[in-house]
Amino acid sequence: MSYEAILVETQGKVGLIRLNRPKALNALNDQLMTELGDALKAFDADEAIGCIVLTGSEKAFAAGADIGAMANYSYMDAFKGDYITRNWEEIRRIRKPVIAAVAGFALGGGCELAMMCDFIIAADNAKFGQPEIKLGVIPGAGGTQRLPRAISKSKAMDMCLTARMMDAVEAERAGLVSRVVPLDQLMAEALTAATVIANMSLPAIMMIKESVNLAYESTLTEGVHFERRLFHSTFATEDQKEGMQAFLEKRPAVFKNL
C-alpha cells in the first residue's frame, strides 16, 4: 500500500513507521491518522513482524493534532464526525508491541500518541507537553488520563494547566519514557530494542502486552489472576518447551511463535 503522510519500511522482524509531514512538524491530520492505523494493522497481521517502531523526524515526533484542520470545527463536526475515536484509536487495538522513538517535539496529540505506544525511547532533544489549554481546548486523545497514570497527578496537572514542556531528562525521571539516548543514537537504540523483542516468542510478547495494559484497567487481585491464567497457558506453547530446553542445554532459544 502506498502512503503519503507516513513512510513505512521493515528492518528484519521490525516494522518501522515514520510520520512524514515535515513542513507541519508532523501535525496529525485525518489522512495521517488513517494511514497510520492502516500501516499498524498491516504490520500486526504480518507473520514476519514481531515488533513495531513509530517515529517522527529529528525536530518533531509530532507537534499535535493539525490545528488548521480543526480550527473551524463545530461541535457537530467533531461529534458526528467521530473525531479522534474514528481513527486515533486503532493503535490501541494493535497486539504487537509498538515502541515510540521520540525526538524533538511531542506535543498535544503527539504526546498522546507517544503515550498510546507501549513504551517511549526518547532522544536527548525530546520535549513533551500538553499545550492544548493555550488553544482554548483540552487534551482529547487521553492526555488527561494517561499522563497522570504515567507521571503522577501533580505533574500531569502542572503540564496540562500551564502548558509547559518537559525535557527528556525530566521525562525519564518522571517515568514517562523508559530510556534517553543521544539524538544520533535514537533509531539504533529503538531498532535494537525492537529486534530483541521480535526475537522472543510472539505469544509471550502478546500476552505480556495484554497483561501489562490490564494493570491500568483492573484491581490488583483481578490483574494478578489474569496474569496467572496467561502464565499457565504458556505451558501449552511449543515456545515454552523450546525456551526452557534451550536454557537447560545452554544454547540460545529459537522460537517458532507457536
Under the rule (CB under 6 A), what is the footprint of ligand HXC? 24-25, 27, 63-68, 84, 105, 107-109, 131-132, 135, 139-141
- Closer residue to ligand HXC (CB): 12 or 140: 140
* Cell representation of residue 181: 539516548
- Closer residue to ligand HXC (CB): 65 or 171: 65
* Cell representation of residue 231: 502464565
> Amino acid identity of 123?
A
In the complex, least distance from residue 72 CB atom to ligand HXC, rounded to whole angstroms: 13
d(CA 231, CA 219): 18
- Closer residue to ligand HXC (CB): 105 or 255: 105
Residues 6+ positions from 188 with CB-CB distance below 8 Å: none
- Closer residue to ligand HXC (CB): 29 or 240: 29
- The alpha carbons of the chain give a radius of gyration, in whole angstroms, of 19
In the complex, least distance from residue 142 CB atom to ligand HXC, rounded to whole angstroms: 8
In the complex, least distance from residue 162 CB atom to ligand HXC, rounded to whole angstroms: 13
- Closer residue to ligand HXC (CB): 136 or 252: 136
Catalytic residue annotation: 65, 109, 112, 132
- Closer residue to ligand HXC (CB): 26 or 211: 26
User: Contact 138/160 with Cβ under 8 angstroms?
Assistant: yes
In the complex, least distance from residue 60 CB atom to ligand HXC, rounded to whole angstroms: 7
In the complex, least distance from residue 98 CB atom to ligand HXC, rounded to whole angstroms: 18
In the complex, least distance from residue 232 CB atom to ligand HXC, rounded to whole angstroms: 39
